[in-house]
Chains A and B, each alone.
Chain A
Amino acid sequence: MSEQFSRRDFLKLAGVGAATTAVLTGCGPASRYVKREPYMQMPEYNYNGQSTYYATTCRECAAGCGLIVRTSQGRAIKTEGNANNPLNLGKTCARGQATLHGLYNPDRVTDPLKRISRGGASTQVMEWDAAIQAVADALKDNQPEEIAFLMGMAPDHLFDLVSDLAKATGMNAPIRFGALGMFESRATLSKAAENLFGEASLPFFDVGGAQVVFSFGANFLETWLSPVSYTRGFAGLREARTKQRGKFVQFESRMSQTGGKADEWISLRPGSEALVALAIGRLASELRGGPIPRAFSNVDPLDAASKSGVKLERLEHLAEMFAGSKGALAIPGGAALGQSNGLAVAEAVLALNAISDNFGKPGGIYLSALAPNQTEYQRPASAKEMRELVQKMFDGKIKVLFVHGVNPLFELPTSLEFRGAIKYVSQIISFATFPDETAREADYVFPDHHGLESWGYQRVATGSAQPVLSGAQPVVSPYYNTRATADVLIAAAQLAGGTFAEALPFKDEVEFLQSKAASLMNAADGSISAADINTFMAYFQQHGGYWKLSDARGIPNAADVLNRTFSAEEAQFAGEGEFFFIPFVSPTLAEAGANKPWLQELPDPTTTVMWNTWVEMNPETAHELGIENDDVVKVVSEAAELEAPVYVYPAIRPDTIAMPFGQGHTAYGRYAEQRGVNPADLLGQHFNEAGDLAFAGMKVKIEKTGKKKPLSRLESLMGVYGIGLGEE
């Protein structure tokens, strides 16, 4: 009980009314964490200063959800979704909630750093002026084509800035990459769209409007493309209150969080997705009557059944379900695309939609709308393109590498040899906010602000019917001595002079943003408009962005889909070994969540494991191999080998094992370092036709180690699996 609190105050307080008095309480030792306050006044029942709320954009992934951040006394307290933003309509995912643990993470890069020697741990703090000088030198002392920018999938404004710079000066166009994009096989999706609809674009799947959804490996409730909006779509599908409850079937070889929600979970042999899709197409069109369209004519359902391990009756039943429904929708994604025949799978599954002819109809497939200030569809680099960059680095064609918003040394499979390639790059400059693996290798680290301290915007690539440009603004003043990368580049360009200076004729980042937004000021059908740019930008920040008011999704031109032929061949699997290997992105950690303690403490939706990596294995298989829960096994692929404890997982094929991607950092702060392993290390250099990594296209061996590492799980082995309850 604090000294300054007298009994009279207490009695005064006691009059405040039942609600408050109901918890007037006694004294006790004051908390060791917060300002000492009389326990009489539990903060829950008092005003502790006024809060201010700022609209900005979430940077945990590239989807571009709008956030409203509550700040109090200059501290960011809580993030909520921005209810106005058409993409997420006021909702957030777990990572959006935990972004504050990134902002106030104890392990951030606090100052611009110069590394004493490449790869060494020792660094020295620089002044920002010196830092900007260093960037300027790097720009002007090298041939433009020797300068490369490697950027993350967010933020877009910086990408635009660098693109402009590149265009104007002849530098290499910036390359964007992100592990999420890699595991989403975005290149494959857009290529498939191009082949089928004649237009490269990210298909938009209107799950909410559908009656029946067949998902071939698409993990759209986890990290896929735009999880929040797809989750909303799923809720729409299941919205029993307003319409008849839609059915959902998932085809995959390892039950994902998404698969867990399916009414029917079809376990098929990896690589047979295309075959199954086409077989269902054929059976469905048989049910529909009339001639079998060319697209499905060259598959034999019986053959498909035997190859995929799905019974023919099951296929017929599914075909019935698909053909019988008004709004049936088939989605390709996830591991199904990350195989040697990924493109074929994507095309086959998209073609299946022709059965219900849902193209451009509610509950069907659209082409995602381009963002307001976007002219053409852009996609992140495929693994193959990354490999090309790596090759250029090996060949010494790259002298300076700028890295922002991406951590290739962790996100890119080791087998792509990025680590080896950087040795041939004379200068690496990282703009990392956190001391990640790449930053640790960089010669300079010029830390960017955290997303919540930054200006900017992000184009919504997919997930919303309206074109959306989510706006970002600082919700708190920078906590450390960091500086916006855009400002650094602008300043450096001025310093470098010449074409550089001309390319970026701006005072600072904000002025650049204004130049980019100017075109929208009085555009038709906009959510906001203003006479002068300052007012417009004020609105822009206040509303958390700018969006068109009407649906601008493209209608796929699917005229001759049914008349094309599709390859039904199965995928090829690299490496010998008895197990198919399925790496999947941890739904809670994704690629960059591992350094946020509360994300680490979130139970994985399927296994409830916290703080670690595991290997999922079918109970039968485990039994045959004499492996139990928490036994550490060695997973051996052609590329590498890893050790991780086993989680005996009831919903995975006996011939398949799976591992979550997200842990296994060697840098990146106290909560991430030396925790778990990174399954990307196991992946070999194999691509599908679209150039995406065939991350699910490998076979691996399992070896026992005799070690044990108890996994930290929220669930009870006794209660959920009956393990340790005593024999019946």
Chain B
Amino acid sequence: MATLADLKISEVKLSEEQTGKWGMVIDQDICTGCQACVAACAMENNISFVGEEDSGYGRSMHWIRIERFWEGEYPEVKMTPNQPILCQQCGSAPCEPVCPVFATVHSQAEQLNLQVYNRCVGTRYCANNCPYQVRSFNWRDYERPEPLPNQLNPDVTVRRRGVMEKCTFCIQRIQKAQDQAKGEGREVVDGEFTTACAQACPASAITFGRVDDPESLVSRLTEQNYGVKHLEELGTLPRVTYFKGG
């Protein structure tokens, strides 16, 4: 049973002004679109590869995808700054209320959108309602022939068919870091750990950290006036800030 205290706390948390806890800043100006983050994410989070046919039919399971568009016509043609799109961990997430079985909920402690795979029954309403289209669905049990499963990360659930999944901000890493900090009786230090994508990024275009800690690099960057948040106008309170640059 939820104690009255819990509820009090969480009622407070409901306020729209919440800054959130974990956040990310992505500098599109230095993102080279090299896909290292995509590969790192796949390796860290046991994401299935789906093969040529399905990936061509919009069923690829990337938790992070790099978007690019074109400006102008040849010869004055330009590639728009690469735009890595991942779950924006909305503070007010449209995906959450629509799930009939609470498979995607808001974490009070981490201020993240949790996807609880084993609750999911696969109505796919959350994915429809996600303005960023970052949720990927397990359309099949995609084969992972032996001995490939040896590589699976034991810290991350292996999803089966019929389940929705999405970027978790590498919550397993968050947990580890926090438990360790707790064990040593301290707060998690900024930069002590980071997400798989940020860690791999050769250009260091991705910065991850506490947005509620004014000292952290990520919140100092978020302060920069040239940061934008995607589809903010929908009131989703996204936690990822983009620098268009250029």
A residues whose Cβ falls under 8 Å from a Cβ of B:
17-19, 22-23, 25-29, 31-34, 39, 42-45, 47-49, 72-73, 75-81, 88, 90-98, 100-101, 103-106, 221-222, 227-228, 231-232, 234-235, 238-241, 245, 255, 257-261, 263, 265, 267, 479, 587-588, 597-603, 605-606, 608, 610-612, 618-620, 650-654, 670, 675, 710-716, 720-721
A23 near B50: Cβ-Cβ < 8 Å? no
The contact of B147 among A95, A257, A479, A587, by CB within 8 Å, is A479
Which residue of chain B is the closest to A267 with respect to CB atoms? B75
Which residue of chain A is the closest to B147 with respect to CB atoms? A104
**B199 interface residue per 8 A CB criterion:** yes
Residues of B within 8 A of A91 (CB): 36, 200-202, 204
Residues of B within 8 A of A606 (CB): 33, 68, 79
CA distance A9 to B244 in the complex (A): 50
Residues of B within 8 A of A651 (CB): 70, 74, 77, 79
A43 near B172: Cβ-Cβ < 8 Å? yes
A32 near B141: Cβ-Cβ < 8 Å? yes
Which residue of chain A is the closest to B148 with respect to CB atoms? A104
Within 8 A of A (CB), among B7-50: 29-30, 32-36, 38-40, 42-44, 49-50
How near does chain A come to B188, taking the closest CB pair, in angstroms?
13
CA distance A3 to B40 in the complex (A): 35
CA distance A374 to B146 in the complex (A): 41
CA distance A650 to B73 in the complex (A): 7
CA distance A606 to B68 in the complex (A): 8
B residues whose Cβ falls under 8 Å from a Cβ of A:
6, 29-30, 32-36, 38-40, 42-44, 49-53, 55-58, 60, 62, 65-70, 73-75, 77-79, 82, 105, 107-110, 114, 116-119, 141, 144-160, 168, 171-172, 175, 178-179, 196, 199-205, 221, 245-246
The contact of B39 among A73, A77, A94, by CB within 8 Å, is A94
A76 near B147: Cβ-Cβ < 8 Å? no
A/B interface sample: 27 pairs, CB < 8 A = A18-B6, A19-B110, A22-B108, A23-B107, A31-B157, A44-B156, A44-B171, A78-B44, A94-B39, A100-B43, A104-B148, A106-B145, A106-B148, A231-B32, A235-B203, A235-B204, A240-B245, A479-B150, A605-B34, A610-B52, A611-B56, A711-B56, A714-B55, A714-B62, A715-B68, A716-B58, A721-B70
How near does chain A come to B211, taking the closest CB pair, in angstroms?
18
Residues of B within 8 A of A88 (CB): 202
* A231-B202, A267-B75, A598-B49 as given contacts; A77 in contact with B34, CB under 8 Å: no
- State the 6 A-B residue pairs at the shortest beta-carbon distance, nearest first: A712-B56, A260-B79, A611-B52, A97-B39, A19-B109, A231-B202
* A45-B175, A588-B35 as given contacts; A103 in contact with B52, CB under 8 Å: no
The contact of B148 among A94, A105, A260, by CB within 8 Å, is A105
The contact of B32 among A19, A92, A257, by CB within 8 Å, is A257
Which residue of chain B is the closest to A105 with respect to CB atoms? B148
Which residue of chain A is the closest to B149 with respect to CB atoms? A33
The contact of A261 among B32, B50, B107, B144, by CB within 8 Å, is B32
CA distance A29 to B160 in the complex (A): 9
How near does chain A come to B80, taking the closest CB pair, in angstroms?
9
CA distance A598 to B44 in the complex (A): 12
CA distance A600 to B38 in the complex (A): 12
A43 near B52: Cβ-Cβ < 8 Å? no
If A598-B49, A714-B55 are given as contacts, then 4 extra A-B residue pairs at C-beta distance below 8 Å, sorted by A number, are A42-B157, A98-B43, A234-B32, A603-B66
CA distance A397 to B238 in the complex (A): 68
Residues of B within 8 A of A106 (CB): 145-148
B157 near A712: Cβ-Cβ < 8 Å? no
Residues of B within 8 A of A713 (CB): 56
CA distance A78 to B151 in the complex (A): 7
The contact of A620 among B44, B74, B116, B172, by CB within 8 Å, is B74
Which residue of chain B is the closest to A314 with respect to CB atoms? B75
How near does chain A come to B29, taking the closest CB pair, in angstroms?
5
A650 near B152: Cβ-Cβ < 8 Å? no
The contact of B200 among A27, A44, A92, A710, by CB within 8 Å, is A92
B52 near A33: Cβ-Cβ < 8 Å? no
A31 near B160: Cβ-Cβ < 8 Å? yes
A235 near B34: Cβ-Cβ < 8 Å? no
The contact of A235 among B30, B52, B68, B118, by CB within 8 Å, is B30
CA distance A32 to B149 in the complex (A): 12
The contact of B50 among A39, A245, A601, by CB within 8 Å, is A601
Which residue of chain A is the closest to B121 with respect to CB atoms? A28
How near does chain A come to B22, taking the closest CB pair, in angstroms?
12
Residues of B within 8 A of A653 (CB): 74-75
B202 near A610: Cβ-Cβ < 8 Å? no
A44 near B168: Cβ-Cβ < 8 Å? yes
How near does chain A come to B26, taking the closest CB pair, in angstroms?
13
A227 near B49: Cβ-Cβ < 8 Å? no
A94 near B36: Cβ-Cβ < 8 Å? yes
CA distance A260 to B150 in the complex (A): 37
The contact of A22 among B49, B109, B158, by CB within 8 Å, is B109
The winner among B62, B119, B160, B202 for most chain A CB atoms within 10 A is: B202
CA distance A94 to B78 in the complex (A): 24
A712 near B55: Cβ-Cβ < 8 Å? yes
A260 near B33: Cβ-Cβ < 8 Å? yes
A221 near B147: Cβ-Cβ < 8 Å? no
